[in-house]
Amino acid sequence: MDSFPGLRKVSSYASITDVDEVEISKLLEKKKVNLERKSSFDERSFSELDGYRSGIDTPSSSMRNSFEPHPMIGEAWEALRRSMVNFKGQPVGTIAAYDHASEEVLNYDQVFVRDFVPSALAFLMNGEPDIVKNFLLKTLYLQGWEKRVDRFQLGEGVMPASFKVLHDSARNSDTLIADFGESAIGRVAPVDSGFWWIILLRAYTKSTGDLTLSESPQCQKGMRLILALCLSEGFDTFPTLLCADGCSMIDRRMGIYGYPIEIQALFFMALRCALAMLKHDNEGNEFVERIIKRLHALSFHMRSYFWLDFQQLNDIYRYKTEEYSHTAVNKFNVIPDSIPYWVFDFMPTKGGYFIGNVSPAMMDFRWFALGNCVAILSSLATPEQSMAIMDLIEARWEELVGEMPLKISYPAIESHEWRIVTGCDPKNTRWSYHNGGSWPVLLWLLTAACIKVGRPQIARRAIDLAEARLQKDSWPEYYDGKVGRFVGKQARKYQTWSIAGYLVAKMMLEDPSHLGMISLEEDKLMKPLIKRSTSWTC
């Protein structure tokens, strides 16, 4: 995959000398505004942590005083720095994995947009914002390239899944190669890249106080192009975003086609981040109005139809079918017999979560970690729902955390269902990789969510588990087994986001004010939540 055959004929393969990069180069040369990290930017979305939430009973100052650096932190930073990629002498990202033992490099030697996010947060928290700024500008530059898969041209706003820097020592030149899905397994464009880019732009701005980047014409246009793609009107009657399998962190067929929770939560968070950064000029105001309308509809839809707790499960269990008109209670005509048996044992009486997918006659009841954590951080989840997600994690610790945090999905798909849903995918066998595997990178998302909800002790317990094995196992990409006991059968070693995810979790627990760059407070205008019981008793 690293050779990218055939790309010479399309403009997603080009040397810097072939494309005008003058405007973005000017931005790279600008000095940032010298403001403190805790700037006043976007105060609407995050009040600056007087104690992460009123529910926490340990002051952040005493938490910092009690924090003792773990000996593996030093090695983690060394490993993270080894993964850095330079373009023309400037750091522009980190490669996916630094695994010398692996015979197949595949695309692990590239800079992935989603993979770089925890690396970027680690650098921002460590007071090293330049690599993050360079990354944001470089991917913004790549967004402007013509994107073709076979003979079909992708939307103008699509961000690359990844890029690679080729060094020509003979000519003393660097060349960028970008992948927009044309080289990916399954040939699927990454829907999440654009959302992560917007979220990271806000994180950079919150961390540095440098408004010049987000307010630049280039970044404003980049945001608008991404938003134009996902806010376009069509035949869909739902405010959620219709997506193919393989368009996110779960980048191969895993039965998430439709409206996967990961994409909906990232979509919601990116919309809120963009709302805080868009200029209120003629072009910006048009998108601001569309974003506000979509956020209201999306929050209602997700909180009403994707949310599952004991009461809602019992309601669905008693659903009638074939209901017609706007008075229908079972709006998606879900057949109660389609509820999998495991859900009844899995669901505690206290706790809940956003299920994997909802569409006509289909509810995917699987737990997906990333979507639920982002729902908390973006305030897509109400405070009550956020607390319920934490209750579920504690109640089902063995299933969702086990011996290595954190299960990407639960439960695993097995037997005949596995053959049908995954297409007999030999990598996504049961309790492996995306099919119920345990991913250390999710530790930073879990930690951030725990701090926001005011339950850092859950994160501390998970970090203790990771510290017992991660360094000894050479920072693998993922773990296999029902409780994450075994290093993944095809897992790369020195996986960069496993390393960065650990560092971010540790730094956030040490200084909870870091949460401000990746968390959004609840928007009071989206309240009150329409209670399910209202529609149920119609």
CA 329 to mean position of chain CA atoms: 32
| Mean pLDDT of the chain, nearest integer | 87
* pLDDT interval class at 7 (50, 70, 90): very low
* pLDDT interval class at 322 (50, 70, 90): confident
Rounded CA-CA distance 350/201 in Å is 37
Residue 57: pLDDT over 80? no
Q: Which of 157, 137, 33, 126 is nearest to 93 (CA)?
A: 137
Rounded CA-CA distance 248/265 in Å is 12
Collapse the DSSP code of 8 into the 3-class scheme (helix H, G, I; strand E, B; otherwise coil) and give the result: helix
Question: Contact, 467 vs 474, CB < 8 A?
Answer: no
Residue 66: pLDDT over 70? no
Q: Which of 479, 346, 349 is nearest to 411 (CA)?
A: 346
pLDDT digits (tens, 9 = 90+) for 199-234: 999 999 999 999 999 999 999 999 999 999 999 988
Helix axis angle, 261-277 to 282-301, nearest 10°:
150
User: Would you state the pLDDT for residue 523?
Assistant: 84
Distances in Å between the alpha carbon of 182 and those of 15, 147, 247, 384?
Answer: 18, 9, 13, 42
H or E element that contains 148: strand 148-149
pLDDT digits (tens, 9 = 90+) for 269-284: 999 999 999 999 999 9
Tokens 């439960």 sit on residue: 411
Pairing of strands 173-179, 162-168: antiparallel
Which residue type occupies 295? L
Rounded CA-CA distance 156/150 in Å is 16
Tokens 């701090």 sit on residue: 451
The contacts of residue 267 (CB under 8 Å, 6+ apart) are 195, 230, 240, 241, 298
Residue 404: pLDDT over 60? yes
DSSP of 355-409, one letter per residue?
-SEEETTEEE--EEHHHHHHHHHTT-S-HHHHHHHHHHHHHTHHHHTTTSS-BSE
If 0-12 CB within 10 Å is exposed, 13-18 middle and 19+ buried, where does residue 223 land? Answer: buried
- Asked if the bond preceding 512 is cis, omega within 30° of 0, the reply is no
Q: CA geometry: angle at 320 spanning 319 and 326, to 5°?
A: 100
Question: Terminus-to-terminus CA distance in the chain, angstroms?
Answer: 55
Rounded CA-CA distance 476/179 in Å is 24
- Number of Cβ within a 10 Å radius of residue 33: 12
Tell which wins on pLDDT, 119 or 234.
119
Tokens (6 digits) for 117: 């996010």
Residue 534: pLDDT over 90? no
| pTM reported for the whole predicted model | 0.87
CA 466 to mean position of chain CA atoms: 20
pLDDT digits (tens, 9 = 90+) for 378-390: 999 999 999 999 9
Domains in the chain (CATH in brackets) are: 70-517 (1.50.10.10)
Residue 12: pLDDT over 80? no
Q: How many CA atoms lie within 13 A of 200 on its CB side?
A: 29
